[in-house]
Amino acid sequence: MERVATGISHRWGVLAVVCVSALIINVDNTILNVALPTLVRDLHASSSELQWIVDSYAMVFGGLLLVGGSLADRLGRKRFFLIGLAVFAGDP
């Protein structure tokens, strides 16, 4: 019976890690959207240019997600995930 309890607690831990990761991604995306008025004011960006900024951010994120998934398969998912979180958290 202990084995089942350990498996269930492990699943909750994995769910918590995935939820925190999704929260970090959403906060980062929110920061980009909050910065858009500043970009308009400082860089005199048009709405078309703002769309380019948002779209390029999403495209780069998607590309890095594919590369990250491939590297995680090769280096180990847990290790690569922790490295990614450390790099992201250390970014000023």
* pLDDT for 3 beyond 60: no
DSSP letter assigned to residue 46: -
* pLDDT for 20 beyond 60: yes
What confidence tier does 65 reach under pLDDT thresholds 50, 70, 90? confident
Under 8 Å between Cβ of 80 and 74: no
Query: Average per-residue pLDDT in the chain?
Result: 84
Token digits for 82? Answer: 């922790």
AA identity, residue 57: Y
Read off the pLDDT of each residue in 63-89 and give the average, rounded to a whole number.
86
Helix (H) or strand (E) holding 87: helix 77-90
Q: Measured between alpha carbons, how far is residue 57 from residues 2, 24, 80 in Å?
A: 45, 15, 22
What confidence tier does 1 reach under pLDDT thresholds 50, 70, 90? very low
